[in-house]
Structure 1
Amino acid sequence: MSTLVNITSKEQFSSLLTSSAIVVADFYADWCGPCKAIAPAYEQLARQLTRPNRITFTKINVDQQQDIAKAYGVTAMPTFIVFERGRPASTVRGADPRKLNEVVQKLASEAGKAESTGEGASGGSSVSGGIGWLGASVPKGYSDITDQVEPKGLELLNRDSAFAQPRTLFDTSKPSALSGGKAKEGSTAADWVESDTDEQLMLYVAFQSRLKIHSLHVTSLPPADGEEDERPMQPKTIHVYANRSQVLGFDEAEDIPPVQTVTINPEDWDKQTGTAKVELRFVKFQSVNSLVLFFADGDGNSEKLRVDRIRIMGEAGEKREMGKLEKIGDEVGE
């Protein structure tokens, strides 16, 4: 079975650049003789080095995907571009299998070292995805599309201002609670959010494109010490709303049926990463430009709720128009 991924759209390619740490792109044409000559060597390299969500080999027909070729300045075939964390790292022009092998092997070696000594070495099942830390594995057939969050379209109600800003929830860095550093609660170093007057939080998230959302990864790492009724809790019940133009008030949310309500049980939390996978009804989240997440309660008796990170899994679609974003005060991202 071939390990090569044939690119059929800009959206597919963008998604791969997000989900895979290294992407190798072979820009070719059916009429190109040198392209055909180097194809067997490229396929062999793909069989040897492909790693799920780490190293992905693709083929891009320049006649069918002219926009992609133009975006990366491809004017001659074959051209091989190696992307590292979504950005071009090396380019090989022409049918030079030795040079191509050298470039890809070097990056693969660096990726292997990072995997064995980096995030994964800090403990548990945490993994490093295409654009940063992940607390759980990416579901098969989907990608981490958290980078589609529009930072200026975030709003969090009942947030304790002594803790982090809402955008920290979607930060690509590993939570400090997993790195041995214990930021004092209420200090400027805190990289998580907590509720204020009670255990509820209301989060509004706008996106830069229309998404198909498969699941959410919610990370919550409350401290193990302290009185149980004073420690912040992990979320338990989350009401999910889609395509709202603005955040919902708490009273308002009680009168509006959510698209889905999910319950996170104690056994759902990964003991090493403090992350729970929240699977959504995929058919209900096929064309999503915003989400409202109503964290209704937590697992315990405290009046505080804590959330460290949220990752979004699914598929990214077409970019939203500027006008639509401007209605809610946002700007188009990258």
Structure 2
Amino acid sequence: MNTRLLRPALRTFRGIPPTATRNTTRQFTASSPKMAIFNITSYEQFKETVQKNPVVILDAFATWCGPCRAIAPQMANWSENPEFKDKTLFAKFDVDQLPDLAQELGIRAMPTFFFFENGEKVDEFVGANPARVLNLIKKYNPEEAAVSAAAPAADNESKNESETENTEEPKSA
């Protein structure tokens, strides 16, 4: 057999380490996707979501929007944060897929974040400023509200107890 025809092929394989030419298989495992941020796909679903959840943070985004893509991972992190998880529903919708909802909410730029409490819009913020969005998330976090509402009540109870202690008549010995 004439090896002259094989010489160019042999020269190319000599420079490749033997591990690169081996048939290797990669192991892939299936993992359940995190549903940290609820994707709203219809106007009816939006209404139902806002009505059924005490606090909803809604991200109005567009797939072509660079700042929307930049802040999306941070929103996912916040939605998985134990401080907010199971207390606040993080939701999003694509303004190009739901233009009627975008028009009703009065969206002028993306990303726009809406904050709903008990079905009512209480705040909105336009822009991809993570610090500002996080401050608003903390502001409307139900636990934060419960703690701040309980604190004055606890202070009043302790004041009432101290007043009753001072108003008691001293017992004579």
TM-score, normalisation: structure 1: 0.33
In structure 2, list runs of 5 or more residues that go unmatched: 1-33, 152-173
Query: What SS is found at the alignment partner of 1:2?
Result: coil
Report the CA distance between 1:113 and its aligned residue: 3.3
- The answer for the alignment partner of 2:85 in structure 1 is 50
- The answer for the alignment partner of 1:113 in structure 2 is 147
Query: What SS is found at the alignment partner of 1:17?
Result: helix
Quick one: structure 1 residues 111 and 20, their matched pair in 2 at CA, closer, same or farther if it must change by over 3 Å?
farther
Matched residues in 1 for 2:50 and 2:133: separation? 19
- The answer for the alignment partner of 1:245 in structure 2 is none
- The answer for the alignment partner of 2:55 in structure 1 is 22
Matched residues in 1 for 2:119 and 2:149: separation? 17
- The answer for the alignment partner of 1:95 in structure 2 is 128
- The answer for the alignment partner of 1:196 in structure 2 is none
Matched residues in 1 for 2:149 and 2:49: separation? 19
Matched residues in 2 for 1:55 and 1:103: separation? 12
Matched residues in 1 for 2:121 and 2:109: separation? 17
Higher relative contact order (CA 8 A, sep 6+): 2
- The answer for the alignment partner of 1:322 in structure 2 is none
Matched residues in 2 for 1:79 and 1:16: separation? 18
Matches within 5 A, 1:174-253: none
- The answer for the alignment partner of 1:140 in structure 2 is none
Report the CA distance between 1:55 and its aligned residue: 1.5
Report the CA distance between 1:2 and its aligned residue: 2.7
Residue 67 (1) aligns with residue 105 (2): no
In structure 1, list runs of 5 or more residues that go unmatched: 118-334
Which amino acid in 1 is paired with 2:139? K
Report the CA distance between 1:112 and its aligned residue: 4.2
Quick one: structure 1 residues 114 and 71, their matched pair in 2 at CA, closer, same or farther if it must change by over 3 Å?
farther
Quick one: structure 1 residues 40 and 89, their matched pair in 2 at CA, closer, same or farther if it must change by over 3 Å?
same
Q: CA RMSD in A?
A: 1.9
Identity between Structure 1 and Structure 2 (%): 36
Matched residues in 2 for 1:33 and 1:55: separation? 26
Between Structure 1 and Structure 2, whose CA radius of gyration is higher?
A: 2
Query: What SS is found at the alignment partner of 2:63?
Result: coil
Matches within 5 A, 1:158-169: none
Matched residues in 1 for 2:88 and 2:59: separation? 14
Quick one: structure 1 residues 111 and 13, their matched pair in 2 at CA, closer, same or farther if it must change by over 3 Å?
farther
Query: What SS is found at the alignment partner of 1:45?
Result: helix
Report the CA distance between 1:72 and its aligned residue: 1.0
